[in-house]
Amino acid sequence: RSGEMAKLTQLIDNEVFRAYATYTTIVLLKMMLMSLITAYFRITRKTFVNPEDTTIFGKGESAKKYLRTDPDVERVRRGHLNDLENIVPFLGIGLLYALSGPELPTALLHFRIFAGARIVHTFAYLIPLPQPSRGLSWAVGYAVTISMAYKVLKTALYL
């Protein structure tokens, strides 16, 4: 048991793992913020998808008018969905990458570029910025995840 604790302590002392934990926390908090932004838009636009959410505005037929879609709410939701589609793979591949023994500067470059790309992507979705800003920020983040996956496969090729 004490050997297992020593390994965990070594992992926490690993600079690359700490960098991974830092940037993972940043992108997860950003993704969580998208939930709050969605809620804000739903409330301010009085746009809901569940009947029970409309009860604060009345009951019966008077509340049904709030069961609708709104372009602003849908735009935020699409941005949030895009986060889920890109941040979740980063979490798994990034962890494997961090454990594969990369150099700290290279790992930091990967993690920082990914986090920056996701933040730019969010602004491109919410403002919205003109294309190709959203597409490029998506592609940069995606390329970073592919780069880390390639390094993991190259380092520990057990196919």
**Residue 11 confidence (pLDDT):** 63
Tens of pLDDT, residues 4-33: 545 666 667 799 999 999 999 999 999 999
Beta-carbon count within 10 A of 53 CB: 16
One-letter amino acid of 22: T
The CA dihedral of 153, 154, 155, 159, to the nearest 10 degrees, is: 50
Instruction: Please tell me the distance from the alpha carbon of residue 83 to that of residue 86, in angstroms, as a whole number.
Output: 5
pLDDT at 149: 97
Distance, CA of 148 to CA of 75 (rounded, Å): 29
Which pLDDT belongs to residue 3?
Answer: 54
CB 26, CB 18: distance < 8 Å? no
Do 141 and 151 contact (CB within 8 A), yes or no? Answer: no
Query: Which residue segments constitute the domains of the chain, with CATH numbers given?
Result: 15-44+70-157 (1.20.120.550)
